[in-house]
Amino acid sequence: MKKNKILYIVVPCYNEEEVLHETAKRLKLKLESLIAENQINKNSKIMFVNDGSKDNTWDIIEDLHKNDKLFTGICLSRNRGHQNALFAGLMTAKKYADIIISMDADLQDDIDAVDKMIIKYYEGNDIVYGVRSARKTDTWFKKTTAEGFYKFMKFMGVDIIYNHADYRLASKKVLEELENYREVNLFLRGMFPLVGFKNDIIYYERKERFAGESKYPLKKMLNFAWDGITSFSIKPIRLVLSVGIIMFIISLLILLYCIVIKILGKAVSGWTFIVCSIWILGAVQMLAIGLIGEYIGKIYSETKQRPRFILSKNLNDE
Ligand code: UDP
Ligand code: MG
């Protein structure tokens, strides 16, 4: 593939004044060296997305842009959360760039992996996922909860790449297709695999945040995981139906048991009727809820209006 493509690095920032200068410095060095090696076009840029920060983040971004056109930025009207901020950045960057890489502002994700991602892109991959090979510096709690999250998502039927967060390269083509996914509750790491196209993985070691503190406290992390499951899977609804079916079978067994007790004359008067009613009613209700759930699940998938297919090639166009 012909090199010299325009690269945009998209960085969502929420209250990141403590890290921004250092991040900008390191990313600038990276971009300049890639330009010098003729890997990317000289119009490549670093795009910061200010996600409604309450500190000086936006002032810093404006300053950076004023002094050096290598930096650019967009500002959201208020805090919309990491996924929305990132999506805003990706959708804006794709207008100007051929290759878009997203990464966090704290540079926990090794920026030297960018070189490997770009090589993979020129080898013909439209998406390159950055995967954490080790989390030596993450706390035990962060590591366990994060890795548990990936396993649980898999169990819930969501196709995500193990230990891949939002450090990835995507081509303009991929982002143009991603724009057709109309859902409002974004879970980007589940959406990219849905888009498809040729893709590959590169590994890197996750480091420690060099300044500031995590903008993902436990509450946000749980919300994010919950969003991921409920935006991608109807397995929880299916579970209700399964429980209903199991309860129904149990209730039939209980019915049988009650009849036997009754025939043997061991039942107190009225007992058989009450026990059977409780079980059968419970089972029927559960079944009914599960059935309604099935339809809600269908409605839910329909309302997303996700594309039914995406072509990667059409020989007629060539
Ligand atoms: N972030 C954001 N909006 C938010 C929360 C976080 O744009 O509401 C950004 C944040 O500035 C950072 C990235 O998302 O660039 C990841 O956040 P963080 O590094 O705090 O998460 P962690 O690495 O601890 O999971
Ligand atoms: Mg971080």
- Tell me the pLDDT tens digit for each residue of 4-40: 899 999 999 999 999 999 999 999 999 999 999 989 9
CA distances from 189 to 50, 170, 264 (A): 21, 12, 61
Specify the ligand 1 atom closest to the Cα of 49. 7
Residue 113 has pLDDT above 80, yes or no: yes
Q: What's the CATH fold of domain 7-233+306-317?
A: Spore Coat Polysaccharide Biosynthesis Protein SpsA; Chain A (3.90.550)
Average pLDDT over residues 265-283: 85
Name the average pLDDT for the chain.
Answer: 90
Whether the CB of 105 sits within 6 Å of ligand 1: yes
- Tell me the pLDDT tens digit for each residue of 124-167: 999 999 998 877 777 888 888 888 888 888 888 888 888 888 99
Rounded CA-CA distance 125/39 in Å is 15
Q: H or E element: which one contains 296? A: helix 271-304
Residue 232 has pLDDT above 90, yes or no: no
Taking the model in full, what pTM does it have? 0.85
- Tell me the pLDDT tens digit for each residue of 170-208: 999 999 999 999 988 888 998 999 998 999 999 998 888
Average pLDDT over residues 285-310: 91
Residue 2: pLDDT band with limits 50, 70, 90: low
Residue 105: pLDDT band with limits 50, 70, 90: very high
Specify the ligand 1 atom closest to the Cα of 13. 11
| Amino acid at site 278 | I
Residue extents of the structural domains in the chain: 7-233+306-317
Whether the CB of 12 sits within 6 Å of ligand 1: yes
Rounded CA-CA distance 233/245 in Å is 20
Sheet holding 127-134, edge to edge: 71-75, 45-50, 7-13, 99-102, 164-171, 127-134, 199-205
Of 16, 19, 104, 223, which is best to mutate to test ligand 1, by the most ligand atoms within 8 angstroms of its C-beta?
104
Whether the CB of 16 sits within 6 Å of ligand 1: yes
* Residue 222 confidence (pLDDT): 85
pLDDT > 90 in the chain, percent = 58
- Tell me the pLDDT tens digit for each residue of 234-256: 888 889 999 999 999 999 999 89
